[in-house]
Amino acid sequence: MTLSQAKRGQRLLIAAIPNPTIRAQAIRFGIAEGAEVECYEKLPAGPVVIGRGKQEIAIGRRLAENIEVQPA
């Protein structure tokens, strides 16, 4: 499943970020493989808002479609 398919309130584990360019972008946001996040909000045709610790991050839909996750 990808981050763009996550449901609001779901706790997730970042399983893989196969694309090196997208992986570099995600790392800049503080998101790496193995990180646990929570889906706070999914805006229609817009970003996915996730939380990690006390930080909220809006991930663009295209970026979220390339981040593989699994339930935590």
Tell me the two tokens of residue 32: 């790496």
Write down the CATH number for the domain with range 3-71. 2.30.30.90
- CB-based burial of residue 3 (10 Å sphere; 0-12 exposed, 13-18 middle, 19+ buried)? buried
- Give CA–CA dist 52/33, Å, rounded: 13
Please give the chain's pLDDT, 72 residues, in tens: 999 999 999 999 999 999 999 999 999 988 999 999 999 999 988 999 999 989 999 999 999 999 999 999
Where are the chain's structural domains? 3-71
Q: Which of 60, 56, 69, 63 is nearest to 13 (CA)?
A: 69
Which residue, chain included where needed, has tokens 């997730």? Answer: 12
pTM (2 decimals)?
0.90
Which residue, chain included where needed, has tokens 């090196």? Answer: 20
